[in-house]
Amino acid sequence: MYCGSATTRIDKIPNRTLSVILSDAEHSPSEHVASNSIELLSFSNSIFGRNEPFGTSQPLVDIMDDKGRGFAALSIAPCSHLAGKKRFPKNGDLEPPPVAQYRNNLTALSQCHNLLFLAYTDTIQVYQPQFPTQLISSKPQLEFRLPTTQHGLAGYIDPGHPHAVNHLVVGDLGEEEILLATCDDGDVVAYSTRHILNAIEVEQEIELLLFEHVRPFFKRNVGMSAWGLALHKAARLIAISSNTKQIVVFAFAIGQRSSSDGLNSPADVSIDDLDTDPGSVDWERVATGSPDFRSRNQEIVLKGHSHNIPSIAFCNTKDDPTGRYLASTDISGSTYVWDIWKGAILIKASERFKIGNSSFPGCE
């Protein structure tokens, strides 16, 4: 059975909590085309401080049955649905862009600005959903291709499109919201969403998009097809997992931490300082990192998994202000919890999963 390339992203943005679903499941991989159906869902829950779902007075689906649980059921209702045939009619001027097959999330919503991001192979399209319907146009407000770290890099899934995006997220790095993307050739690229919004405003004013208007502040390669993405806001960390079976943690330089709240000091290097040439930024590879003070950018490599790692996550709460803990899961079902500052595995949990005709025993 062909599962398609349906990707889902859940985000909470001002006054609404939305999930974006981008699907091309109507087509087979060989066609390399997309139905480009877009569906925006609204979530209603007491946690979000809303009694009714956005855009409707009647929830259509209730999930997470609250019997015996300490929280209320989550209600889901559609804000809008845009079929690919309506976005890109056959006799229209625009051709539907191809959606890469077998990836992680290819959609993301800004929580600071009215921006919706969609990844089509190596291109990012940026939309501004209309209020109150949340509909988007067929033509994006902004479109740009991800730069490469070097020419001639090979792809793992699709050799014909080695720089296609595998995973796309939006999150906070320090006081800045960023867009972070991993690619099949191992490249990782990051942008400030503030700079992307500024680029849209500049393009609307001068009707010309220049490269310097959409320039990444971070651009690195992790060796092979990159998948897992994790951000730690307070500690200013970016973690990337890849088919090298390793996790690379990029720890940006920070000033001395305050002893009262554990947050970064105003002396931290800002994204604007890094926005000149991301390829020229120095990274010092270290075996053990510095959680409280870093005068230089540090790169930490975590080794221990025996299989590819599609998913990683930080503990992004006050319980871990220094970004010490990182959880990772590989395709065998093994889950590790790391102390990244010591480069050590704290917990190993393994399960046995069967994928197709292959069985993976998990790590001991």
Question: Which tokens is 111 given?
Answer: 């929580």
Q: What is the dihedral of CA 309, 101, 209, 197, to 10 degrees?
A: -60
b/e for 163-184, b at 16 or more Cβ within 10 A?
A: bbbbbbbbbbbbebbbbbbbbb
What residue has token string 């480009």? Answer: 36
Total count of residues recorded for the chain? 364
Question: Closest Cα partner for 240 from 193, 339, 308, 316?
Answer: 308
CA-to-CA dists, residue 156 to 13, 23, 32, 142, 168, angstroms: 34, 22, 16, 28, 17
Chain centroid offset of residue 89 CA: 30
Question: Which tokens is 234 given?
Answer: 């307070």
CB 162 within 8 A of CB 224: no
The CB-based long-range contact list for 330-339 (8 Å cut-off, 24+ gap) reads 330/245, 330/305, 330/306, 331/307, 331/355, 331/360, 332/306, 332/307, 332/360, 332/361, 332/362, 332/363, 333/360, 333/362, 334/305, 334/306, 334/307, 334/362, 334/363, 336/304, 336/305, 336/363, 338/247, 338/302
CB 105 within 8 A of CB 167: yes
What type of residue sits at position 152?
G
CA-to-CA dists, residue 259 to 94, 148, 254, 308, 322, angstroms: 56, 40, 14, 38, 12
Cβ–Cβ contacts within 10 Å for residue 244, how many? 18
Phi, psi of 97 (to 5 degrees): -75, 150
CB 294 within 8 A of CB 265: no
What pTM, to 2 d.p., does this model score? 0.76
CA-to-CA dists, residue 39 to 100, 306, 346, angstroms: 18, 37, 40
Supply the pLDDT for residue 288: 79
For the chain (length 364 residues), average pLDDT per consecutive 10?
40 48 45 54 45 38 46 69 78 80 90 93 91 82 92 90 94 94 96 92 65 80 94 94 95 66 44 56 78 85 93 92 93 91 88 48 40
Task: Convert 75-124 into a string of H (helix), E (strand) and C (coil).
Answer: EEEEEEEECHHHHCCCCCCCCCCCCCCCCCCCEEECCCCCCEEEEECCEE
Supply the pLDDT for residue 194: 93
Ramachandran class of 338: left when φ > 0, alpha when ψ lies in -120 to 50, beta otherwise:
beta
Strand partners, 107: 118
